[in-house]
């Protein structure tokens, strides 16, 4: 082989490796820049930042707990509602529509298209249509009849944890059902046939052989949904009310990590800005943890072959 | 082996079976109904707002009924176009590395990090670009917005490139190399040549995703009602930021225009996704069969 040809191969490999290195570099640079930007805030507030409940830009007292709480609470509502529904959709497409592949394909395509709807459109719909509807037809009746329970005690104005959780649920359903559907479809048919041959009903086949076989993949889908809910900015910012609060009352306005960055970063400076970058660092680390976990689960499920997301 | 199930299907088991079927169908209804409402609302309210003036005028004050979306629309296209320039070479390159050098440690590590980045909150990417670019240049800009969008696009392009190149049978690579074609030429002509539809799919999906992003633009491109004359030292509007700004304004004229902008955005996304599903999907199946 001539030297010239060898050189072409080397150049290509170096160029492609540089592109692959860029991705590693990006993740590292993210971690470094966010850590450096939040250094001032970390040294001033220490670990107390994580449990501080006050957010006061005027007196420069900053605590992240209301935002962590808001992020966790809205994500919990979203997954509590979203997971069973997504699993139902996945079971319907992969188990019930086995004999109707075209219809299954159409429903799957619809779900995929809906996962592509931009989050700002969910936000627009949430703020102008869903929030007033929920306030009048769900929140007010719940408050009037069950107001003695702390969860429903506040006077609902429509922009609160509850609305944000519902909007998030609607948004994570396409993602979670698409991944669960892929995972269930990857279960070998021999698993089902073995169960049927023992005389099981459809549901028993799903419950006793399909779901257990796919459980790590389903957990992966759940964690991916959690990742999307935790990181979602626009739709939540538009409906949660943006008030830093820690309360069991679902009908109170709240705030999340990403909403805070979207709303307040632009006009911040000095230690205030550093504190918001630390909020970004918390969000970065949470997202890193969630996504690494999800990927590990999905990789294991597909025996090293990646499941399409 | 003793069966774990009784031989006769009891009434109870039949009832549970039917009940679960019903629950599954209820779940599908619960998933699909809100989404139909969202699309329906965007379609109906949007159609009432969209006309030629809307598409060709600049955004106006909330008191005016005649504001349009011309400059933000151009802004969105500008930034997504720039972002494509940055992200396509890097994304396709990284994807080629994952697929053609899949045995290397760098490929495994970078591939994993790429997947992690795919699910990353785009707000954090915007914050990062703010710290690195906007604080340095002391100005919001189309450039900063495009860089943030390219970080959203790169992982998507890299992953789909990797997947579609891995579908190219190894025998093709071997046949080409056996004929004395050097590896780099084999990679470009044979591997990328065969898998190019898949690569294109990834690029279009990434473009669609970037067009719909708002969070990375808030801290990088910000907002402007005018056309940008310089891509490096002035803020620039986008379709998505307009929807965010107008939707939360409380002004009824702006709310109407937000629905119009949402309809245009949905139509762009739909066109891109259908293009992928129908045209590329068909040629992919043909390629596999032939």
A277 touches chain B (CB under 8 A): yes
- Angle, to 10 degrees, between the axis of helix B11-49 and the axis of helix B252-274? 120
State the Cα–Cα distance between residues B56 and A265, nearest whole angstrom: 32
Q: Are A221 and A183 in contact (CB under 8 A)?
A: yes
> Residue B31 above 50 pLDDT?
yes
**Residue B56: C-alpha distances to residues A260, B52, B68, B74, B210 (Å):** 34, 6, 6, 10, 23
Q: Which residues contact B239 (CB under 8 A, 6 or more apart)?
A: B69, B72, B73, B75, B76, B211, B261, B264, B265
> Residue B282 above 70 pLDDT?
no
- The domain made up of A38-301 is a member of CATH 3.90.1310.10: no
The distance of Cα A217 from the centroid of its chain, to the nearest Å, equals 16
Q: Are A105 and B199 in contact (CB under 8 A)?
A: no
User: Cβ separation of B269 and A118 shorter than 8 Å?
Assistant: yes
B151 touches chain A (CB under 8 A): yes
Structural tokens at position A151: 């969860």
Structural tokens at position B179: 């004929």
Stretch 11-30 of chain B: residues touching chain A, C-beta under 8 Å? 13-14, 16-17, 20-21, 23-28, 30
Q: Are B196 and B204 in contact (CB under 8 A)?
A: no
Nearest to B156 by CA among B76, B86, B96, B88: B88
State the Cα–Cα distance between residues A31 and B120, nearest whole angstrom: 13
User: Cβ separation of A288 and B116 shorter than 8 Å?
Assistant: yes
Q: Are A175 and A79 in contact (CB under 8 A)?
A: no
Q: Are A166 and A81 in contact (CB under 8 A)?
A: yes
Using CA coordinates, name the residue in chain A closest to B139.
Answer: A266
Stretch 233-262 of chain A: residues touching chain B, C-beta under 8 Å? 233-234, 237-238, 258, 261-262
State the Cα–Cα distance between residues B195 and B197, nearest whole angstrom: 6
Residues B194, B197, B202: CA angle, nearest 5 degrees:
125
User: Cβ separation of B121 and A202 shorter than 8 Å?
Assistant: no
Contacts of A24 in chain B (CB under 8 A): 109-110, 113
Q: Are A71 and A230 in contact (CB under 8 A)?
A: yes
pLDDT value at residue A299 = 75
Contacts of A287 in chain B (CB under 8 A): 119-121, 124
**Residue A48: C-alpha distances to residues A54, A65, A268 (Å):** 11, 10, 21
Nearest to B140 by CA among B86, B211, B79, B88: B79
State the Cα–Cα distance between residues A142 and A140, nearest whole angstrom: 5
User: Cβ separation of A91 and B110 shorter than 8 Å?
Assistant: no
Each residue's pLDDT tens digit in chain A (309 positions)?
A: 455 556 888 999 999 999 999 999 999 999 999 999 999 999 999 999 999 999 988 888 999 999 999 999 999 999 999 999 999 999 999 888 877 778 888 888 887 777 889 999 999 999 999 999 999 999 889 988 888 888 888 888 889 999 999 999 999 999 899 989 989 988 999 999 999 999 899 999 999 999 999 988 899 899 989 999 999 999 999 999 999 999 989 999 999 999 999 999 888 888 999 999 999 999 999 999 998 888 888 777 665 444 444
Contacts of A238 in chain B (CB under 8 A): 244, 247-248
Q: Which residues contact A109 (CB under 8 A, 6 or more apart)?
A: B277
Q: Are B189 and B181 in contact (CB under 8 A)?
A: yes
Stretch 64-83 of chain B: residues touching chain A, C-beta under 8 Å? none
| Mean pLDDT (chain B, rounded) | 91
pLDDT value at residue A3 = 57
Using CA coordinates, name the residue in chain A closest to B91.
Answer: A19
Q: What is the per-residue pLDDT across B59-105, written as a single tens digit (0 to 9) for each? A: 999 998 889 999 999 999 999 999 999 999 999 999 999 999 999 99
Q: Which residues contact B64 (CB under 8 A, 6 or more apart)?
A: B253
User: Rounded to the nearest 5°, which phi and psi values hold at A92?
Assistant: -60, -50
User: Cβ separation of A118 and B240 shorter than 8 Å?
Assistant: yes
Q: Are A273 and A159 in contact (CB under 8 A)?
A: no
> Residue B11 above 50 pLDDT?
yes
Q: How far is B134 from chain A (nearest CA, A)?
A: 11
State the Cα–Cα distance between residues A203 and B16, nearest whole angstrom: 8
Write down the architecture of domain B52-289 according to CATH.
Answer: Orthogonal Bundle (1.10)
Contacts of A204 in chain B (CB under 8 A): 5, 13, 17
Q: How far is B61 from chain A (nearest CA, A)?
A: 19
**Residue B159: C-alpha distances to residues A34, A150, B114, B273 (Å):** 26, 46, 8, 17
Q: What is the per-residue pLDDT across B160-212, written as a single tens digit (0 to 9) for each? A: 999 999 999 999 999 999 999 988 999 989 999 889 888 998 999 999 999 99
Mutate to test the interface with B, among A121, A159, A182 (most CBs of B within 10 A): A121
pLDDT value at residue A286 = 93
Q: What is the per-residue pLDDT across B144-159, written as a single tens digit (0 to 9) for each? A: 999 999 999 999 999 9
Structural tokens at position A270: 């000095």
Nearest to B194 by CA among B112, B101, B275, B100: B100
State the Cα–Cα distance between residues A82 and A78, nearest whole angstrom: 6
Q: Which residues contact A251 (CB under 8 A, 6 or more apart)?
A: A139, A143, A152, A153, A154, A155, A156, A157, A160, A161, A162
Average pLDDT over residues B280-285: 61
Q: Are B123 and A233 in contact (CB under 8 A)?
A: yes
> Residue B241 above 90 pLDDT?
yes
Q: Are B189 and B139 in contact (CB under 8 A)?
A: no
Domain boundaries, chain B: 52-289
pLDDT value at residue A298 = 77
Using CA coordinates, name the residue in chain B closest to A117.
Answer: B266
Nearest to B96 by CA among B82, B110, B113, B84: B110
H or E segment at A201? none
Using CA coordinates, name the residue in chain A closest to B273.
Answer: A113
> Residue B288 above 50 pLDDT?
no
User: Rounded to the nearest 5°, which phi and psi values hold at A56?
Assistant: -130, 100
Cβ count near A60 (within 10 Å) = 12
Q: How far is A143 from chain B (nearest CA, A)?
A: 23
Closest Cβ–Cβ partner in A18, A20, A173 for B31: A173
Q: What does the DSSP 8-state code read for residue A55?
A: E
């Amino acid at each position: 082989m001539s030297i010239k040809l060898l050189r072409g191969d080397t150049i290509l490999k170096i160029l492609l490796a540089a592109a692959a290195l860029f991705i590693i570099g990006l993740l590292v640079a993210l971690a470094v820049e966010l850590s450096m930007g939040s250094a001032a805030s970390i040294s001033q507030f220490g670990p107390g930042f994580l449990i501080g409940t006050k957010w006061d830009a005027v007196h420069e007292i900053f605590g992240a707990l209301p935002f962590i709480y808001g992020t966790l609470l809205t994500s919990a509502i979203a997954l509590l509602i979203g997971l069973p529904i997504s699993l139902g959709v996945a079971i319907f497409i992969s188990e019930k529509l086995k004999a109707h592949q075209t219809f299954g394909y159409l429903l799957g395509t619809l779900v995929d298209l809906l996962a592509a709807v931009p989050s700002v459109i969910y936000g627009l719909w949430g703020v102008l249509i869903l929030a007033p509807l929920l306030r009048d037809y769900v929140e007010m009746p719940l408050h009037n009849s069950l107001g003695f329970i702390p969860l429903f005690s506040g006077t609902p104005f429509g922009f609160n944890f509850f609305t944000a959780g519902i909007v998030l649920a609607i948004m994570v359903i396409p993602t979670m059902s698409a991944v669960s559907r892929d995972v269930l479809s990857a279960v070998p048919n021999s698993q089902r046939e073995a169960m049927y041959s023992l005389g099981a009903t459809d549901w028993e086949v799903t419950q006793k052989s399909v779901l257990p076989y796919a459980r790590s993949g389903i957990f992966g889908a759940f964690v991916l949904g959690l990742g999307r809910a935790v990181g979602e900015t626009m739709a939540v910012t538009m409906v949660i009310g943006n008030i830093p609060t820690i309360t069991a009352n679902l009908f109170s306005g709240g705030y999340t990590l990403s909403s805070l960055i979207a709303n307040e970063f632009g006009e911040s400076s000095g230690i205030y800005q550093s504190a918001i970058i630390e909020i970004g660092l918390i969000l970065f680390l949470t997202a890193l943890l969630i996504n690494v976990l999800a990927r590990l689960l999905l990789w294991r499920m597909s025996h090293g072959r990646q499941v399409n997301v | 082996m003793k069966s774990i199930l009784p031989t006769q299907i009891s009434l109870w088991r039949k009832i549970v079976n039917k009940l679960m079927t019903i629950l599954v169908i209820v779940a599908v209804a619960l998933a699909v109904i809100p989404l139909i409402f969202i699309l329906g609302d965007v379609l109906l309210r949007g159609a009432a707002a969209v006309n030629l003036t809307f598409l060709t005028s600049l955004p106006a004050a909330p008191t005016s009924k005649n504001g349009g979306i011309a400059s933000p629309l151009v802004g969105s296209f500008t930034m997504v176009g720039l972002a494509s320039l940055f992200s396509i070479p890097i994304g396709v390159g990284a994807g080629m590395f994952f697929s053609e050098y899949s045995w290397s440690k760098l490929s495994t590590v970078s591939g994993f990090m790429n997947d992690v980045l795919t699910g990353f909150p785009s707000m954090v990417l915007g914050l990062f670009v703010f710290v690195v670019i906007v604080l340095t240049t002391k100005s919001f800009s189309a450039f900063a917005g495009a860089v943030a969008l390219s970080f959203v696009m790169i992982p998507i392009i890299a992953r789909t490139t990797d997947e579609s190149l891995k579908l190219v049978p190894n025998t093709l690579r071997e046949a080409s190399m056996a004929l004395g074609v050097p590896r780099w030429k084999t990679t470009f002509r044979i591997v990328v040549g065969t898998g190019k539809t898949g690569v294109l799919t990834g690029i279009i999906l990434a473009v669609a995703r970037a067009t719909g992003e708002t969070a990375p633009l808030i801290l990088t491109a910000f907002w402007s009602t005018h056309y940008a004359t310089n891509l490096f030292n002035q803020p620039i509007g986008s379709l998505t930021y307009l929807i965010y700004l107008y939707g939360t304004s409380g002004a009824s004229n702006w709310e109407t225009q937000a629905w119009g902008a949402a309809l245009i955005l949905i139509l762009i996304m739909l066109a891109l996704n259908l293009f992928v599903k129908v045209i590329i999907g068909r040629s992919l199946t043909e390629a596999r069969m032939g």
